[in-house]
Structure 1
Amino acid sequence: MKKAMLKTSLGVAVALASSQLFAAGFALNEQSISGMGTGFAGRSSAADDASTVYGNPAGMSRLKRQQVTVGGAAVIAKTDISGPGSNLGGETDGDMVPTVGVPMGYYVKPLDDNWSVGFGVYVPFGLVTDYGNGDAARYWGKKSHVEVITFQPTVSYAFNDKVSIGFGPTFNRIKGELGSNLPTPRALGGTDGEVKIKGDDTAVGYNIGILVQATDHTRVGLTYHSMVDYKLEGKTRVSTPLIGPFSGSKFDATLKIKTPESVDLSITHELDDNWTLYAGSTWTRWSRLKDITVQNDVPAPLAAQFGTISEEQNWHDTWAHAIGASYKVNKEWVLRAGFSVDQSPTNNENRSPRIPTGDRKAVSFGAGWSPSDDMTIDVAYSYLWEEDTKVNLASSTKGTYQAKYENKAHGLGASLTYRF
């Protein structure tokens, strides 16, 4: 029972700390559809539209007209699960990730030749998995639903036509809901119990960047996304006859977690009037996640087991690399393509069915259509595949769970930019 409670509570924190359904762990990459078309290569140096508020706030200095960019991406994931599953029974049919949407919106207004202001609303982290009551993984992570929504007011300053800087504080609202089943002995009815935990918090971080026009045809961008320190407060509800009169009770729960800082270095090179090349690398400090401590406000009889619980994670820092290109067909049309590779921060010993991910690769395609100087419609498609990963867990209360995961995903995105 102690381990069951531990895994469920820690699941919220792990999910928050790992969010790229299309980047390291489960952090989300989809903050720009124009960037999605090149595999997010050149994310901090392109500054093609108002989504540069996220990619590099210094890039607002390149936008000479007031503009709005709004859009969204859909993530369609597919997972093949094989292996023994659980010794306590259950299916291993995969498809535990439903189709999800990732919205975004940005606004930029130049004030003069030097100053620009703007804001963005986007989703930097998110996780949704739902195995269902009959799945073999139900005791280790039946349901996970975590999301972070960020609002970022931003300002940029151009020192001259070569160098600009930008800064924006980020106000981040996080909420999560996690659930797991609990096995119950036949002597007590045999029907699965359940653990549910919900929590939320608001925390502040920042996004800062510099953009340098190194030559007439080459730009270099550097962006730093800060660590965000959360303290989730919520309730843990346990329903099982194993805890007698406390079954069905809700206990106050506190989870402290830090989502990691990252650094993005990108280059954009205009090869000629038609071709533009992009490259970029992102380092993320996932090694912050050494362990997770959960504080539960429980009655005295449960304090020894559930008062303070800690578990090691030992995640490691990751690198992601991307290359891309765009081709300007004519005044109205631009075509894009990109390829990216991304490491997973997890390790074989601690990997769980909530986050069964490995190193990944993705190929992307996109297009931009500008029917007038005032409007651009961008679309993008990405296909992602991961190396096969294994989950191998054992518990005296939840049995064993052994499975191999083969993860793939399709991403579809569209955005509209309107200039005033």
Structure 2
Amino acid sequence: MAEYLPPTTEQEFHANFAQIKPRMNNTEALYESSRCLFCFDAPCIKACPTGIDIPQFIRQINTGNVTGAALTIYEANYFGNACGKVCPTEVLCEGACVYNLQDVKPIEIGRLQSFATRQVIESDRKLFGPGLTNGRKVAVIGAGPAGISCACELRALGYEVDVFEARSQPSGLTVYGVAPYKITNEEVLAEMAYLQAQFGYRVQYNSPITTREDLQALEEAYDAIFLGIGLGKTNALLLPGEERENCVGAVEFIEQLRQHHHRVAVGRKVIVLGGGNTAMDAASESSRLGAENVILAYRRGKEEMGAYDFEYDLAKSVGVKGLFNVAPVEIVGNGKVEGVKFIRTATVDGQVQIVPGSEFVEPCDMVIKATGQAKQTHFLSYIPGLQVDSKGRVVADAYTGQTTNPKYFASGDARNGGAEVVNAAAEAKVAARGIHTYLTSTN
């Protein structure tokens, strides 16, 4: 029996995809902020990739200075509102909270962060502005968390910034790739509009940079170029039958869901291939769309999955079942997906080995491949002198974000291979300062 009925209206969709970190009201925020111990050597700050002074902003909320709290957050992390909702706070700041040592519920740092930032966004409170114009221009490729964070910091330093985005909306995976129960499109786009109004960078939408000629034009017109291009499509498994109807990539499935909500069709029985956080999202989303049966299939054991425990618990809580130590061999069916042929596996000395003669077919009418995203190596090959590592990641200096082509800087998934929004925001700020150092030292 399905846990959720298929949503047929926007209202039903929002009910099925209710926010797992709902917005706090003033009373809840006051109560929650009063629980903070304001640790002197706060472990939550160390656990935050952007180093937000968490005790400080919680104290500000508690004393009624919500604007001050938002400023504290945004000075460290330009994606302050989004990160309050989409960050894996359970393993970062909240996971480091000293209350965990006493078996007391940790402070809800993420929700407090979103509480403060939402207030300044909605009141359109002016917190920042561009720095004194220095006459230099920087091109940013990609309006995701890395690109937008870099643009904000560069504007604060006085640069003219043009952001080139292939799609029609900003913020990359935050709008196209995060599960809808973590953050709504409206919240994401409100923060993006707020930042653009504060800093005044320009964004050119539906403007893909795809050729060597495109890059050459940027190289001639701009003093430096920032690559915030993220990753590409879902990796192909190269299995027989992978082309069958209703066999889709998780990234593409989630993008459709974020854009079209209840109009996205899901199978009655869905098999999700993979064991990472994206697999958990795709499985949970399938269940919330009304799939009667959702199975997560992973080639290793449950304890070896890459996903965070809380993400797997969330999937299980909506009826998702696990099928472990199985490797897909073929997507079976006649035109459409009718099942997956698996072979059982065993992990021996850390290596996955197949169990001969153990093949079986698990019937289903939809397969979602959560098997990682391809690197954008083809595009990167158009940049002269740019080095990528053996995994297709852009090689860049850890302290400046500068690549092996001195005019190009990079951050985010293209550089780290795929991490969190907060990592992209943190790295991009560092890269913006790296660009500033580079351009001020070269005349």
Give TM-score, length-normalised by structure 2.
0.23
Instruction: Name whichever structure is richer in helix by fraction.
Output: 2
Point out which structure has higher relative CO (alpha carbons under 8 A, 6+ apart).
Answer: 1
Name the structure with the higher strand share.
Answer: 1
* TM-score with structure 1 setting the length: 0.24
